[in-house]
Structure 1
Amino acid sequence: MQSHGVSGALMHIARGRHLVHWRLKTPPVDEDCRTQMQLSCYSPNEIRTAYGLNSLLNAGFIGAGQTIVVIDSFGSPNPLKDLKRFDADYGLPDPPSFQVFHPLGTAKFDQNNSDMVGWEQETNLDVQWAHALAPGAGIVLLTSPVSETQGVQGLPEFLKLEEYALDHHLGNIFSQSWGATEETLFTPEGKKVMQDFDDFYRKATMQHVTFLASAGDSGSANPDVNGNNYPFPTVGFPADSPWVTAIGGTSLYADTSGNYQRETVWNEGAGSATGGGYSKIYREPFFQRQHLSPLLSGQSHGYRGIPDVSFNGDPTTSVPVYLSFMPDPGYYMFGGTSAGAPQWAGLIADANQMAGHSLGYLNDTLYKIGSNPTLASQAFNDITVGDNKQDKIGGYSAGPGWDAVTGWGTPKAGFLVPLLAQPPQ
């Protein structure tokens, strides 16, 4: 939801831009979603199967000993209760620990405030689906009483939350499903906020913290502070920071057992598509200069390209999230790149456990793997079909290897996670 800061919660909605609600008391069954609603609603087991994670989970690499830190505005009225319902319905264990911190205070929930409800939805999405991919990892949720929108608003508070998490050693994997259009931060105050974040990211990276951020849900078209799209391709912060691993979105096609079939770039048009493109402030980082082809380096004009990797994000190839606070409680279907960031956080928790230590900064390793054709073919689903172009604005197309819409692609976790745990030299 780029116009409201969240990369997801209200923008990734299917069918007329409305949330799709499963009106039965039981969790949705993918086969029924396809026949009754003409969309898929992948269960945790289907997602794990599609991306090759089940073999690792079955071998005991479940994120044990790790903690995922989730940062959101407002939070959710009862995220643990809803997570327990999600776990019970899908046969998942409850996390070994679940903590919520409000170091900056709280705002009273107002269910008539659509922005607040959107953040509540985002919070449940982040918590439930990070847990689904790393059921043995702890979860820490930190909330801000200020809504992060566009420009500087809400970002200083998020930075304070992340500093609090680092200072109190709350976890080593940070999931950031939010962002602001880069151009809205080209003011002196905005540039200071970006610099403050980058100084913090650098400090935290030295302490082996991993930062993940969703690339956005508006394709190449992103709004200014007044909600009007810029007339040229743009990207978002913090996904554009070289210290962050940016997550793009795909349309995942798998059968109702979760067996992978194919993927394309997620692009529904009308402003709903994966973010991706090139920064106008961050120069091309070393890991891209070294590992991308001269043709791609020429396209970048010497600037940072995003995303780095991707995950399923299409609302029509959705995942269910349990929301008890809605007027009609139950499961609602979600997509968006904000679904990908917490799921990648789960994968990294599994990889940390396998490695026996926190992996920290990922991008050097991801680009070493991606630029090696033999390793890349086994570690990533290379997405080569589709683009994130929006009407009259243009955008970028997928192609073999890295591209500015899906990065290196989506994980083949059974091979990629061990490679992350023991990186190639």
Structure 2
Amino acid sequence: MAHTHSSRRSTMWARNVVSVLAFFALALALPSQNCEHKVKETIVPPRGWTIFGSAPPDHLIKLRIGLPQSNFDLLEEHLYAISDPYHDRYGAHLTTKEIHELVAPHPDSVGAVENWLASHGIADNDITRSSAGDWLTVTLPVNLVEKMLDTKYHIWHKNGEYIVRTTSYSLPKNVHDHVELVQPTTMFGTFKKLKSTIHSVSPITSQAESQKSQPFFDSTTGLTVDASCNTTITITCLQQIYNAVGYTPSANVGNSIGIAAYLEDFANRADLQTFFEDQVPAAAAANATFQFISVKDGLDSQDPDQAGAESALDTQFAFGLTFPVASTFFSTGGRPPFIPSVGTPTDTNEPYTDWLDFVLSHPNPPLSISTSYGDEEQTVPESFAKRACSEFAQLGARGVSLMFSSGDGGVGDGDPDPETTECITNDGLNRTQFIPGFPASCPFVTAVGGTILFPEQGVDFSGGGFSNYFERPSYQDAAVQAFLDKLAPGTYSGLFNPNGRAFPDVSAQSDFFRIFIAGQPFHIGGTSASSPAFAGFVALLNDARLRKGLPSLGFLNPLFYSKAAAGFNDITVGNNPGCGTPGFNATEGWDAVTGLGT
């Protein structure tokens, strides 16, 4: 195997050299490009990243060029109309064709960018286009990209990771307004997993499971919940806490649920079967499993010793809650490690955009999708965050509900000790500030925070706060302003943006989830547990609607903040410390710990 792998690397290396030489020769044969450039974007490198050295000139970059979406404002109008339960168009989701027509770039932009690429020897068949034509992708050597963008790439280093990036790039003046962004350039975000710790690495013993007290009755909700749910969360616990006992969805109404995973994480099918045997006997009897979709070489080795805890948690609870609804697991290939001393491996694009490319072109994406990955908003360039957010809007317009974990750092780093706080801005001013997370801060997704125990209270790691990139959307104006009005004057002044999009929107249980890894039960927690759990209940709601011939819920937030607000359990206990502060408090109505509630 090692010899075969070496041969493949040699073949790929030879092809890359030929490709680089061809580009170089063609560039020499073309007229010199003396077009005056104008700066498109400049950033301060995020804290912790340092220059390791210059990028090798023949290092290949998969360059993605985002063209302005010509009528996104109209798409946004459509989205809010079809997501407003009081609008006569509620639920009238758009088709893929209709969305593509709204986001397709203007022909002038297409022509200007194609001419610019051609002037550098890039032929039309070298370019890959997104389904709407709003992204152009081409693989090029660093030396050519540096010339095109009038920039200099370096190898950047942080905690054993190496990436090839720049902190500023420019475009010819005649192209400048026809390009929204170019990546990978200034994108240093790593899109990491959002989970806290596995609370027990020892098998949960049957003896411990048998020590149960009498069920607990909550007079506020009128629900009866097993006392064991205060120490271990199971499918039964979630059904009891959220009033879904005895509800069995249909497999025949076109319903679906999906989990998106990254960074080489994959779900083990044998562990899912063990989980079903433990908690969903009907699914075990049916030998139920999920459809696996690999995006850009996403892994599915099924080696039990390599299976991810994140994917185990996501699939076991999301699919356990919704059996027999059609379930899909997306595994998107991650950025391979760049090792400066070993050849010049291709520096792939951020995996998140690869998944978005794929799902936006998918003819029938799952109607409820959960993602437990994200990053600090400030590590993601604002241009990239806003473009990705606009693509979430496209999915919402198609009738897809998107859930994202709100994060596990409270209002920032999750540490109330001011001596160890990491809540420092990346703008070069090194200001102390609460750190919102992305994509939770995007107004077109539903951010899910965390609760614990029963009766429920906000868990201390529940990510919450206010975006510095996105303005507060109108659908949450009243709820969020009521929360801000309750704060004492001057509370956390300068530490957050009171006019920003507020999150989380909702919350769910987020700790002591009983999952199986390599055949053994574990406890695990984080908002990475609450997001797939909430997505499961959204799928159950979709089932109820589809059975009646109604469309799926789609983009949830306008419904949640209006007509459906009364359907939530308001959480009024708890806080989310961080950045040397106690964080925000859970309170009556919306709050920045648990959102509207559970």
Question: Does structure 2 conserve the Cα–Cα contact (< 8 Å) formed by 1:284 and 1:302?
Answer: yes
CA 1:133–1:109: 2 relative to 1, 3 Å: closer
* Whole-angstrom CA distance in 2 between matches of 1:27 and 1:391: 40
1:101 is matched with: 293
Q: 1:213-237 deviations in whole A, cap 9, x for unaligned? A: 00011111239xxx94434322210
**Partner AA of 1:365 in structure 2:** L
1:340 is matched with: 530
Question: Does structure 2 conserve the Cα–Cα contact (< 8 Å) formed by 1:289 and 1:297?
Answer: no
2:450 is matched with: 249
* Whole-angstrom CA distance in 2 between matches of 1:207 and 1:284: 23
CA 1:154–1:172: 2 relative to 1, 3 Å: farther
1:29 Cα deviation from its structure 2 partner = 2.5
Task: Please point out which of 358, 361, 370 is paired with 1:167.
Answer: 361
2:352 is matched with: 158
Question: Does structure 2 conserve the Cα–Cα contact (< 8 Å) formed by 1:165 and 1:171?
Answer: no
Question: Does structure 1 conserve the Cα–Cα contact (< 8 Å) formed by 2:483 and 2:589?
Answer: no
* Whole-angstrom CA distance in 1 between matches of 2:242 and 2:442: 26
* Whole-angstrom CA distance in 2 between matches of 1:89 and 1:404: 35
2:458 is matched with: 265
CA 1:102–1:366: 2 relative to 1, 3 Å: same
Question: Does structure 1 conserve the Cα–Cα contact (< 8 Å) formed by 2:312 and 2:516?
Answer: yes
1:393 Cα deviation from its structure 2 partner = 3.8
Question: Does structure 2 conserve the Cα–Cα contact (< 8 Å) formed by 1:264 and 1:386?
Answer: yes
Question: Does structure 1 conserve the Cα–Cα contact (< 8 Å) formed by 2:365 and 2:400?
Answer: no
Unmatched 5+ residue regions in structure 2? 1-188, 214-227, 338-346, 415-420, 425-431, 488-496
1:53 is matched with: 244
1:31 counterpart = 2:211: yes
SS in 1 for 2:391: helix
**Partner AA of 1:201 in structure 2:** F
1:302 counterpart = 2:503: no
* Whole-angstrom CA distance in 2 between matches of 1:102 and 1:365: 33
- The more displaced of 76-85 and 300-309 is 76-85
1:6 is matched with: 193
1:364 counterpart = 2:566: no
* Whole-angstrom CA distance in 1 between matches of 2:384 and 2:287: 34
2:520 is matched with: 330
**Partner AA of 2:209 in structure 1:** V
TM-score (norm 1): 0.75
Q: 1:338-362 deviations in whole A, cap 9, x for unaligned? A: 1111111111111111111211010
Q: 1:215-262 deviations in whole A, cap 9, x for unaligned? A: 011111239xxx944343222101110000000001122xxxxxxxx1
1:351 counterpart = 2:351: no
1:166 Cα deviation from its structure 2 partner = 3.5
**Partner AA of 1:68 in structure 2:** I
* Whole-angstrom CA distance in 2 between matches of 1:355 and 1:44: 22
Q: 1:65-119 deviations in whole A, cap 9, x for unaligned? A: 32212111245565222111111122241586611122301469799xxxx96x8
1:279 Cα deviation from its structure 2 partner = 0.9
Q: Percent identical across equivalent pairs?
A: 26
Greater RCO (Cα-Cα under 8 Å, separation 6 or more): 1
Question: Does structure 2 conserve the Cα–Cα contact (< 8 Å) formed by 1:63 and 1:349?
Answer: no
CA 1:294–1:312: 2 relative to 1, 3 Å: closer
* Whole-angstrom CA distance in 2 between matches of 1:63 and 1:341: 25
* Whole-angstrom CA distance in 2 between matches of 1:158 and 1:95: 31
- The more displaced of 292-301 and 168-177 is 292-301
* Whole-angstrom CA distance in 1 between matches of 2:568 and 2:243: 11
- CA RMSD in angstroms comes to 3.5
Task: Please point out which of 258, 261, 270 is paired with 1:69.
Answer: 258
1:281 Cα deviation from its structure 2 partner = 1.1
1:199-218 equivalence runs, <5 A: 199-218=390-409
1:285-324 equivalence runs, <5 A: 285-294=473-482, 296=484, 301-314=498-511, 318-324=512-518
Question: Does structure 2 conserve the Cα–Cα contact (< 8 Å) formed by 1:370 and 1:402?
Answer: no
Unmatched 5+ residue regions in structure 1? 254-261, 268-272, 411-425
Task: Please point out which of 169, 194, 198 is paired with 2:389.
Answer: 198
CA 1:342–1:388: 2 relative to 1, 3 Å: same
* Whole-angstrom CA distance in 1 between matches of 2:473 and 2:330: 30
2:310 is matched with: 122
1:43 Cα deviation from its structure 2 partner = 2.0
1:38 Cα deviation from its structure 2 partner = 12
* Whole-angstrom CA distance in 1 between matches of 2:556 and 2:336: 26
CA 1:361–1:4: 2 relative to 1, 3 Å: closer
SS in 2 for 1:310: strand
1:64 Cα deviation from its structure 2 partner = 5.7
SS in 1 for 2:453: strand
CA 1:381–1:39: 2 relative to 1, 3 Å: closer
CA 1:216–1:127: 2 relative to 1, 3 Å: same
1:283 counterpart = 2:471: yes
* Whole-angstrom CA distance in 2 between matches of 1:323 and 1:408: 33
1:20 counterpart = 2:201: yes
Paired residues, number: 357
CA 1:78–1:133: 2 relative to 1, 3 Å: closer
1:375-386 equivalence runs, <5 A: 376=566, 379-386=567-574
2:372 is matched with: 177
Runs (4 or more) in structure 1 with deviation over 6 Å come to 108-111
* Whole-angstrom CA distance in 2 between matches of 1:4 and 1:167: 22
* Whole-angstrom CA distance in 1 between matches of 2:204 and 2:569: 34
- The more displaced of 139-148 and 233-242 is 139-148
* Whole-angstrom CA distance in 1 between matches of 2:543 and 2:399: 14
Question: Does structure 1 conserve the Cα–Cα contact (< 8 Å) formed by 2:480 and 2:590?
Answer: yes
Q: 1:151-205 deviations in whole A, cap 9, x for unaligned? A: xx998312322331342223122211111011112xxxx2232122122112212
